[in-house]
Structure 1
């Protein structure tokens, strides 16, 4: 806990808060962007997917940069250029494709923030402490999801969405400067350590049954919270911006609570693997309910959407599970590779969800169309869970 409360880690948590905000804020902007620049749900699905794809594409270069330059320079530089620049460009958008470019920049800027803190943890903490430390960072950083809900709706109502984005660009630059000022890079490995390479990482056989679930587990909460919750509540129940803001705020609170509690829950279940299985089974049940009862009532749907995000701690759990099998000299590339698999899964599923929505909405009423969206996230989750049952225990007790 002392490490997490250090100025360097706290500054990285601020950066991760911005990352969580930027991956989620489109949900509450759906009506505004549709009215002002003609960006509908399908356009925003593409924009959100591009954020995740650019974020994932940067993971291997970020892993190399973390090993060579350390998290201080890597994170602060990319966050300033991509994050600050992307937010500024977003504020100037007059067409949907402008949003696409801005979200690509934001994805690049946010790419190193989380793995920067994980890199420091992996070099300075025992593997058994990773889920607790990572859960704390994700939990606190998930406040960005909450800021991207009702508070964002209020701010946009007060000053407009363009001035809001300009202000966010300034804040992002300030956070990047704070990271540069306070982060201390961990000591470099001794020269006699084996050479780090992606080929060496791919030889870690224990990861093969972990990666399928890692690639899909975060997609449900990220995509539904970050994009589909807003259009779903609007088109099926006629929800207002304010109501969408409050529901997504509840989803953000669920993310924070779940991740901050992950250490205690792991101690209860006995390992990261068993806790991940319990989390995933809960999410399977919730998505099944949304699939079968998408238009029953606004109250039921709001509760189920919040419950989707209770399972959000699976990300930090499976990351910690995978980290337990990565040799020390492969930590930089290993952590970023695991993160790449997770985020790429979100991006791919976000892209595919767009044609699923278009096809379903062309042939079905809104409630039935969104049931296909929830089924789309449910099926890969079940497949990933089947693989994960065969993964080795991490030994975390």
Structure 2
């Protein structure tokens, strides 16, 4: 089980990488394929939307056939296959298809780990273990920043993607060989479905927060930080790599902080709520920033992005808050339902913010799109918090 979990974490490192690497490739894909920021926003949004749509079948598969087959097969076919398609892309449409395939491949990895944590470990440890997996897996977030920029400049983006496809296939094979499934609990007449989970009223106040909590940090780190740094501050590939590296480190710190913090405070709900308030304030401050920046102010906005990265890392704590409401035989479908809202929200907001950018580019000053994107994220957080404040906060 330990070796299998290590392989899952390696897979999650790659999953974090694939959801964020487009920001660094912005200049190369625009030059070689004519892909504009709005095109990459759509491709990034497809990754998240396909990933989210896969959570329903993935949840069924985790409960019925177990995490080993689910994770290894999808990661090999979708992850490695999509990375290879990306390497040979000739148009922005090919990038869209490749990102959709990679989204399919990455969809079971984190949830397979959460399924094992829920089945094999004490409930009180869930948020810490879940946060640790995200924290370690977020090394992929770091790898998609400055290291990815270095690899692209040294070897070329196509060659780098071929190498990533090979690494992904190796990890998928390791999952098949070393991973074992938790013991299954057969309960006659208790098969259930996602519809049974949606009938649980306590989840109605948690799901909206899950919808908005991850979308802003994923959107900024995965895409907008690159075009924003380039267009407003004239940042080159290496500078963008440094900006994404700083925000990636902040997201890792947040993943490790939230679990111990909720135990220290004695509340999961209010820790997440406080993080949401801080993130919203950071975006409202970013909204006020001018669109003609100096070399010094680029590090001020980078610091604000880091604040968003730390404060928006409450994903595992929200799942831990919702976990006591799941029937035991619907554990897999429960965690994947929450992940559907989280990743689905990120995908929808990538597409929405892409439309915002397109509108402002066509009708007004293109640089004015960025403050509107930040304002959209700030309002999004406020809407989620207004519902989440009424949620229950069970203790294990």
Q: Residue in 2 aligned with 1:371?
A: 371
Taking the aligned partners of 1:393 and 1:205, their CA distance within structure 2 comes to 13
Cα RMSD (Å) of the superposition? 1.3
Q: Against the structure 1 CA distance between its residues 294 and 321, is the aligned structure 2 distance closer, same or farther, given a 3 Å change threshold?
A: farther
The Cα offsets for residues 121-147 of structure 1, whole Å up to 9 and x where unpaired, read as: 111123222111100000000111100
Where do 5+ consecutive residues of structure 2 fail to align?
A: none
Whether the aligned pair in 2 keeps the contact of 1:78 and 1:108 (CA below 8 Å) is yes
Q: Residue in 2 aligned with 1:197?
A: 193
Deviates more, 1:189-198 or 1:323-332: 189-198
Q: How far does residue 294 in structure 1 lie from its aligned partner after superposition?
A: 4.7
Where do 5+ consecutive residues of structure 1 fail to align?
A: none
Alignment of 1:115-154 (within 5 A): 115-154=111-150
Q: How far does residue 194 in structure 1 lie from its aligned partner after superposition?
A: 2.0
Q: Residue in 1 aligned with 2:40?
A: 44
Taking the aligned partners of 2:331 and 2:259, their CA distance within structure 1 comes to 22
Q: How far does residue 299 in structure 1 lie from its aligned partner after superposition?
A: 2.0
Taking the aligned partners of 1:353 and 1:368, their CA distance within structure 2 comes to 13
Whether the aligned pair in 2 keeps the contact of 1:128 and 1:324 (CA below 8 Å) is no
Whether the aligned pair in 1 keeps the contact of 2:279 and 2:312 (CA below 8 Å) is no
TM (norm. structure 2) is: 0.96
Q: Residue in 2 aligned with 1:339?
A: 339
Q: How far does residue 193 in structure 1 lie from its aligned partner after superposition?
A: 6.8
Alignment of 1:166-315 (within 5 A): 166-192=162-188, 194-295=190-291, 297-315=297-315
Taking the aligned partners of 1:350 and 1:11, their CA distance within structure 2 comes to 29
The Cα offsets for residues 340-396 of structure 1, whole Å up to 9 and x where unpaired, read as: 111111111111111111112334435432000001111121010010000001225
Are positions 1:106 and 2:102 aligned together? yes
Deviates more, 1:239-248 or 1:179-188: 179-188
2:57 to 61, 68, 80: 61
Q: Residue in 2 aligned with 1:160?
A: 156
The Cα offsets for residues 227-262 of structure 1, whole Å up to 9 and x where unpaired, read as: 000000111111110000001001111111111222
Q: Residue in 2 aligned with 1:31?
A: 27
Deviates more, 1:254-263 or 1:145-154: 254-263
Are positions 1:353 and 2:349 aligned together? no
Count residues with an aligned counterpart. 392
Whether the aligned pair in 1 keeps the contact of 2:281 and 2:378 (CA below 8 Å) is no
Whether the aligned pair in 2 keeps the contact of 1:14 and 1:175 (CA below 8 Å) is yes
The Cα offsets for residues 136-169 of structure 1, whole Å up to 9 and x where unpaired, read as: 0000001111000000000111110001000000
Taking the aligned partners of 2:158 and 2:207, their CA distance within structure 1 comes to 39
Q: Residue in 2 aligned with 1:319?
A: 319
Q: Residue in 2 aligned with 1:70?
A: 66
Q: How far does residue 312 in structure 1 lie from its aligned partner after superposition?
A: 3.4
Taking the aligned partners of 1:233 and 1:305, their CA distance within structure 2 comes to 12
